[in-house]
Structure 1
Amino acid sequence: MNYLDRSELPTLADRLNYAMSLRNLVQEDLASLIGCSQTSIQKLASGKSKTSKFLPAIARVLQADVDWLELGTIPASNTASVSGSKVQPRDGTPFVLGELSPWDDSTPLDDDEVELPLYKEVEIASGHGRSAVQVVPGRKVRFSSYTLRMAGVDPTNAACATNTGNSNHPLILDKATLGVDKGMTKIIDGQIYAIDHDGLLRIKFLYRLPGGALRLRSYNREEYGDEDYPLDDVMEQRIQIIGRVFWWSTLNPTNAPPLL
């Protein structure tokens, strides 16, 4: 993203239209990608609206800094430090996400930190071995607010989860911590989502199919084939999207399976 300052793009509408042109997106396309009406985008693009609850999602889709989009503030750097793992945006500009806090629950939050709830499978009492995807009481993961802004994620919609199994190996390893944007449940084909599949927490690439059907795909497709679910099965098996996975961090212990 080539960020222009407020002398060149003085308003939110100017910056929005500029960012859309760089991505070759029209208002209808942007609205579809973030799950809002075209009217909402039109009001922002025309200057009738000066702000919107959709700005973090818009920034994510346009791969722009949300503070620049809303306020015209040019980022001091296109990088932000996260767990030492680099992410390559679609426009080729490298940046690094911020790191998880290693401190315990008694450590005060820094000014730019937020605590995110952690989701996991929890066995239901008297449920005969059944489980449900629930927030783990007392378990939270700390993130830099700047990290979330870089990813275009509203902190109030962010949560974490833990990957289990090797269906996405070696992209996402077993026990990896995942950042989930609960504000993004609209399916963008080929994106990674956390889903609640009848009480099981699953991390899958999702694709829409005709008739409301859904395809679940694993990165490790040699061992885990595609799963197609007609709409009736989606409803019967209670497949619900928790949110889009925007970040993951992986521990690679010595007893882990080889990556290659």
Structure 2
Amino acid sequence: MGTTKHDDSTLAGRLKHAMALAGLTQEPLALRAGISQTTVTDIARGRNATSKKLPLIAKALGVRLDWLTTGQPPMRLDATSTGGVPLDEEDRAAMLDLAERVVILRDKLGFSVAQLCRGTTLTPAEIEAVEDGRLWLGPAKLDALATKLGTSADWLVRGLAFDSYEMRDGDHHLIRTIHDVAKGPLRREV
């Protein structure tokens, strides 16, 4: 299954493209933008190309109003942003680390993008955007991705996993395993 192509030559197509990248359907977008779902539906169907609500929609999707209305690149507010909020170097590095971990685990498990999406609410466009370091998932989708990859959201985000308990003298002791993406467990702390 390939990536869905969107017709970015129309407002309706650009809206659908941005919604797919954001992982939003019409109702959640309407809620996020503070507008009616009918307005979003009308624009998505090409019936309301001059809505005064377009600035709210662009902001909710984290895209430039100019791109949404005319198709004039770039799409995003700036090259290092997510949801319209500029990222500092530390956040950008964390996003790229997440991307690297997802790619490594998906390859290790032999999953295609479509297989990784199956059984989750994730879209192929979202997986590709995460793997390119362009999208930071919300907590629910991050948890779903981690579960599908057989790890924790903590490991995907930080490279850390608290993954086992040992029984000693009748008591449970947490064993922390600090993971490195390429090397696996680095050290165990009791």
Pick the TM interval, shorter chain: 0.3 to 0.5
TM-score by length of 1: 0.28
Query: What TM-score, normalized by structure 2, do the two folds share?
Result: 0.38
- The structure carrying a bigger helix percent of its residues is 2
User: Which structure features the higher share of strand residues?
Assistant: 1
